[in-house]
Amino acid sequence: MSDDRIAPGKKAVASWDDWGAPPATRRWWLPRRKLSLTEGVVIAAIVWVLFCLMLPTGADYDLAHRYPAPVAGVGNDFAGVAGEYDQGASRGRNWRLSILPDGRYSFVWSGCLGVYHRESGSVIPVTGYLVLSPVKQIEPRIKRIFLPIRWGSRSYLIPPESLQEFCDAIINGDEPRHETEASRFYALGLNVRVDGVPELPEPWAAYLRESAVFGAIVEATEGGRVRGDVGSADGLRIGSVLTVQGRGDRYRSRKLRVVAVDEHSCRAEEGDPGEFKNPLEAGWKVVAAREPQATPSP
């Protein structure tokens, strides 16, 4: 018979092998499941707001525009481009450019920490472009030369060196954007939905015609299936991606993939029909990148 007594001065020693495996434990800081994208964004926003509340005060939180004094005798020569142009808020950056009918302007760059930069001055027309001339000669922190572009009820101010980028954004379906979506381009009238093609000067109008296919949905059925009025003769093929103009939200565009194509029509399907609240409708405009035509064999 074994002796289970413990000698004086010695401790009883046991291992998990004697008693079985330890009970399963869960670290409290680990989530029970993976967080969704929306939950992650909400948590990040809360952390950012709490961080901003702990910062010292003294920053400029006056977001109002400050214009230079009006000049006597100046008319409303800029009434056609007057208004507040917005790039949208993105990663703590909100750029707003306001132009008055008499040509005075004010720019405010703001974010979570208040106003980072502001300037004001006068708008000078130069051969179709608008040039911002600040009252104080300071180092430029923003673009100051713009081409005004009309797109239905919207107006855009595009730097001349960004015209191709703007055209590519149209082809990719990033413009016209949702009213709350951030962008690199100043826009006026984002609360109004537009589609089709903006009024572009040459050679950019030709670039858009040659690089993009513009059409419309002529029939929409359940399950995100549509029939379009553009086909292989316009530069589409099976696998081409159609973007529904102006019908996305601030996070994503609404995309359709072509599954069948005829000479002057196509059929396309939405990848996730339940991703958007509203079903597809006939009459909605679409855009796609024009596929290069196959070179005929000799």
Structural tokens at position 135: 């009252």
**Residue 61: per-residue pLDDT:** 80
Looking at the domain 83-188, which fold is it?
Lipocalin (2.40.128)
pLDDT value at position 114?
84
Check residue 6 and give its pLDDT. 47
- pTM comes to 0.75
| pLDDT score at 60 | 77
Where do the structural domains in the chain lie, given as residue ranges?
83-188, 212-289
The Cα 289–Cα 267 span in angstroms is 16
CA–CA dist 20, 175 (Å, integer): 64
CA distance 72 to 247: 45
pLDDT, residue 120, reads 95
- pLDDT at position 84: 94
CATH architecture assignment, domain 212-289: Beta Barrel (2.40)
What does pLDDT average to in each consecutive run of 10 residues of the chain (298 residues)?
50 50 52 70 80 62 90 86 84 84 94 86 95 87 92 95 95 84 83 93 95 97 95 96 88 91 97 86 96 56
- Could you tell me if 224 and 269 are in contact, meaning their C-beta atoms sit under 8 angstroms apart? yes
